[in-house]
Amino acid sequence: MKNAALLGGGTLAAAVFGLVFQSLLAYHFGAGAETDAWFMSLSIYAFLAKFLMLTHLKSIALPIYRRLSASDPDQGRRFGALLLGWSGGALVAAAAVLVLAAPLLVDALAPGYQGAVRDLTVDLVRIRVPALVFLGTTTAGLVLLESAHRFGVTVSSQKIVPAVVTLVLFVLVADRYGMVGVGWIGLAGGVAGGLVALAAVAPLVAGRRGARGTADAELRGVAGQWLKFGGSNAATFVGEWAFRIAASLLPVGLFSAVLYGRMVHDLLHGAVNDAAQSVSLPRFAEVGEHGDEARVGAALRASLAALSALTVPVAAFVAATAPWSVALLFGRGRFLDDGMVGPAAVALQIYAVGFVLQGLNQLVFAAAFSVGQSHLVNRVQIVGHLVRAALLVPAVMLYSYAGLVGAQVAMNALVLLLLVVAAPRAWALRGAAVRVVAGPTLGVVLATLAPAALWWMAVGRLPEPVAWGTAGRFGVLAAAGAVWGVLYLGLATAFRVPAARDLLARLRSVGGGAALLLLGLLAGPGAGSAQEVADGPLPAEHWSRAVLESLEAAGRVPMGSVRAGPLDGARAEALLLAADDPRARAALWRLRDEAAVEGRTVPLAGTVGVAWRHVRDGTEGAVGASGLHAAGDLRLGRPGGVWFATARLDAGRGGVEVPRGAVGVRMGRFTLGVGRHRVQLGGGAGGAFALSPSAGLDGVLLAPRSPVPLPVVGATSVTAGLFRAGRYDDVVEDPWFALLRVAVRPVPWLMAGVSRAALVGGDFQGGRPPFQTEVHPPDARPMGAGDVLDLLIGRVTEYDNQVWAFDVRGSLAGAGVPAVLYGEIALEDNERSFGDGAALAGVLVDAPAGRSMVSVRYEYAGIGDAGRWCRWCDTLPAFWYQHTRFQDGWRVGDELLGHPLGGYGRQHVLAVGIMDPTGALRGTVAGVRLRRDRWNLREGSRPGRAWGLRSSVAWRPGRRFEAGLETDLEWGEGGWRAGTLALSFRAVPGGNRTPPG
């Protein structure tokens, strides 16, 4: 298992590099005539490798080398040297002939290619053929390396080094030199891998001595067995010839789409099937050294059962999620424009079936070679390739590209059937086939059906994958894969699948079994009061923020604890612990109640529930949308540990939404998170000018866990982030969003901060801004390093739209008044009019009622005339949250990035917050009076004056359940109605037994 993990892991890493390469190829070249030529040249190169039977050469020679090395190491070294020398020399001669014969090869194997496509294919074949020399010598070297169990060198030379070299060169070169340049890059990767293998093999053949006769005779035996595959070789030629004839009959681009889809199959095939065969071959050789075929058969049957327990659920998952994985890997640039996501996904679904069959075939091949039964492989391959050759052209004519792939899968199924029938009786495969179907394999199939059924129930609710950004596609695949894996492993264990039981036993032996039971933690019973809160950032709307603001007003918590940056769970716990206030103890008890309970290995905070939600916008004639939603929150992180994970999923009629979800690590006083974040930079309860948390942004966020003490300025917090605004729906493709906030606390009762956020970059297609009559041309040049430098030092460029905000917060608790005063002013681009700014001001009063926590807040926000803080400045319009470049405004999808007011206008908010002594009832209710003016982002759907009601109330009648009401409603004077109303019921995994004293 260790060797298989090494080979599989290395192959997986190489395949990931290869997928990145193919993704870039799809982005730059799409799926058309050029890529058809590229993939046909690769296919011809692979055919030549099969035609020369390099894999068979390794399988024949490895058992002989093991036997010679065990009896006489000198003879073994001589045999290895002869094998390297003769194979290298023969391949040099063959490569020279093949380079000259490249036009004939292309005409024979791709007769449908004519004109420029044929010429490009010929050039690419000629460039690639010399790599056969290095591939052949590498294969001969693997005989020596794998016999010594040096699988790390094996996977490095064959897969990792070529993949890395190819990817690095392609990133540097891109499409500057066309497809011919990509061909030379591929050759360079093959040469680099061969050199690594030869360097590792050289010491193994040094000092070769011994009688010439033995090693020479064994080498002649290898050559004889290799030549015996002539019939199989001829059948392979016929089958591959038919395959390429059929491929050349497809319309332009479809062959490329098929092979793009095959990339995921090749990743799995290399990581699983090839690794299993590489590990099994020397193992079978060791078991069969004394001619005991029964022992070989027992080892083979166990390996077949273990491999099918892995490949069947993986293949089912790959087939079910094929559109998502293809869209994730290749759904950008020219490939998406060519409309090839569908064909590539269908091809991958069919290849997934072949992945299972091919892996089983390879294990039987390995067993046959280990006991000298190579004729068995030869015979079944002859039949299989001839049948495929007969099927290919009719299948393509009837079923297009699906027939091309289906014929390959049919051949794999036929070969497996023939292997079972013709295998030696001592292997007991025929009887085992019946027993396996009735036993372990039936359990594998049954355990696979449950996650598959769940997926097909969900897939009708999910939108098309091309409608999601990269992060969204990855999130769906990751979530589906995690659920699939946990369910399958649990069911496979229940159905007594041996491989699943063995895996669990091994994981438990290294203390990893608890990691497989995380799903059960959500429903696990409490075991006493929680002791520590899980690490990781709290949600932007988490109730603990309101509690901490009230404690700021009372002087119990240092100023800036909430608005300095994202609030960490462990930081919130520390602040509540330090506050000398009974209400803080109640909040701490409730916060811990949401977190892990005592005795759990990994602290977990979360809720799972259902909500009814009604949404309506203010557009005239708009119809409200209502429906049930299943929601789940999860927050993981060991207190004092180095990692955390947060997630929130919301599944309703519109599909699965991921409002937030990130993984990250602690770095001293900071956390670094990667995923979807919702962040607020300064501001007040109603939002902030630079960035409010209504929009989820996908990227990297560096956030403070605790302030850093600095001279003069005091405790300092820095928040920085860089995100892809992939869901931005405008004439700018794929812009970025960047943020930076620095907050200082020179004394405990005062905090000041500066925030900066910017939409930047992307590809501007040109157009007319909504507030101008002039049509602006597209970008004359891409954004360069000088523009990035200007942005970093605060200058405005033609590639960005940015907002600056300056805020201050102060507590009056030292003067005997339990209140916080706060304010913020902002600029839309720092070179615009100071007279067209924005201003926010508010006061929060802590009004305790016994042991309950009650707060009252008033907040005003204005933009434009309503927010002028520089009365002596000119009043030229800055067009808040709109820009020549970003014409759809400062938003991602339907979510605003800036202040919820939406731009020009004003807003008054009066709010009351409450939490009872046990924390069972908590919430905030706010009344809003606002007005939206011309050029406001929501002017079209919510114009003019309006009233609003915003609330977030939660009541927990017991330890395990919580009911909630959330509203964000507006009534316009013009008769429009808009907003969201949600009723929720949630189960909480904590549940402390005793409330605070």
User: In 3-state terms, what secondary structure has residue 725?
Assistant: coil
Token reading at 945: 């004056």
- Phi, psi (rounded to 5 degrees) for 105: -60, -45
- Does an H or E element contain 698, and which? strand 697-704
Q: What is the pLDDT of residue 613?
A: 77
Question: What would the 3-class secondary structure string for 270-289 be?
Answer: HHHHHHHHHHHHHHHHHHCC
What average pLDDT does this structure show over 242-246?
Answer: 77
Bigger pLDDT: 338 vs 869: 869
pLDDT, one tens digit per residue, over 676-694 is 888 899 999 888 999 998 8
pLDDT, one tens digit per residue, over 488-506 is 887 777 777 777 766 666 5
Q: What is the pLDDT of residue 340?
A: 74
Instruction: Give how far Cα 667 sits from Cα of 93, 567, 673, Å.
Output: 58, 15, 11
pLDDT, one tens digit per residue, over 956-975 is 776 667 888 889 999 998 88
Which of 189, 79, 188, 224 lies closest to 141 in space, CA to CA? 79
Bigger pLDDT: 150 vs 18: 18
Q: What is the pLDDT of residue 417?
A: 86
Q: What is the pLDDT of residue 993?
A: 43
- With 0-12 / 13-18 / 19 or more C-beta atoms within 10 angstroms meaning exposed / middle / buried, residue 775 is exposed
What average pLDDT does this structure show over 61-87?
Answer: 67
Token reading at 599: 């005795």
Name the average pLDDT for the chain. Answer: 76
pLDDT, one tens digit per residue, over 397-420 is 888 888 888 888 888 888 888 888
Bigger pLDDT: 576 vs 142: 576
Which of 765, 684, 600, 563 lies closest to 928 in space, CA to CA? 684
Query: Which range (305-309, 516-520, 730-734, 981-985) has the least confidence?
Result: 516-520
Judge whether residue 557 has pLDDT over 90: no
Token reading at 841: 């001001």
Task: Please tell me which of 262-271, 764-773, 798-807 the model is most confident about, judged by mean pLDDT.
Answer: 798-807
Instruction: Give how far Cα 589 sits from Cα of 88, 532, 597, 789, Å.
Output: 73, 10, 12, 48
Q: What is the pLDDT of residue 826?
A: 92
What average pLDDT does this structure show over 850-868?
Answer: 89
Q: Encode burial over 822-831: b for 16+ CB neighbours within 10 A, e otherwise.
A: bbbbbbbbee
Spatial distance between the Cα atoms of 470 and 467, rounded to a whole number of angstroms: 10
Q: What is the pLDDT of residue 510?
A: 39
Other CB atoms within 10 A of residue 177 CB: 12
Judge whether residue 881 has pLDDT over 80: yes
Judge whether residue 324 has pLDDT over 90: no
Q: Quickly state the pLDDT bin for 438 (edges 50, 70, 90).
A: very low
pLDDT, one tens digit per residue, over 95-138 is 888 888 888 888 877 777 778 888 888 888 888 888 877 776 66
Query: Which range (227-231, 588-592, 906-910) has the least confidence?
Result: 227-231
CB-based contact 879:838 (threshold 8 Å): no
What average pLDDT does this structure show over 457-471?
Answer: 73
Bigger pLDDT: 555 vs 533: 555
Q: What is the pLDDT of residue 656?
A: 63
Q: What is the pLDDT of residue 910?
A: 95
Spatial distance between the Cα atoms of 267 and 20, rounded to a whole number of angstroms: 12
Q: Quickly state the pLDDT bin for 141 (edges 50, 70, 90).
A: low
Token reading at 353: 């079936």
Instruction: Give how far Cα 970 sits from Cα of 30, 616, 655, 881, 989, Å.
Output: 47, 10, 26, 22, 35
What average pLDDT does this structure show over 464-482?
Answer: 80
Spatial distance between the Cα atoms of 254 and 400, rounded to a whole number of angstroms: 9
Spatial distance between the Cα atoms of 657 and 479, rounded to a whole number of angstroms: 12
Q: Quickly state the pLDDT bin for 629 (edges 50, 70, 90).
A: confident
What average pLDDT does this structure show over 561-577?
Answer: 82
DSSP 8-state symbol, 728: -
Spatial distance between the Cα atoms of 238 and 145, rounded to a whole number of angstroms: 33
Spatial distance between the Cα atoms of 282 and 575, rounded to a whole number of angstroms: 61
The DSSP result for 160-210, as a single string, is: IHHHHHHHHHHHHHTTTTHHHHHHHHHHHHHHHHHHHHHHHHGGGGTT--S
Judge whether residue 860 has pLDDT over 90: yes
DSSP 8-state symbol, 566: P
Q: How many residues does this entry show for the chain?
A: 997
The DSSP result for 480-496, as a single string, is: HHHHHHHHHHHHHHHTT
pLDDT, one tens digit per residue, over 273-302 is 777 777 777 777 777 666 677 788 888 888
pLDDT, one tens digit per residue, over 346-397 is 888 898 898 888 888 888 888 887 777 777 777 787 888 788 888 888 888 8
DSSP 8-state symbol, 456: H
Q: Quickly state the pLDDT bin for 330 (edges 50, 70, 90).
A: confident
Spatial distance between the Cα atoms of 846 and 852, rounded to a whole number of angstroms: 11
Q: Which residue has the tokens 């609003």?
A: 948
Bigger pLDDT: 506 vs 561: 561
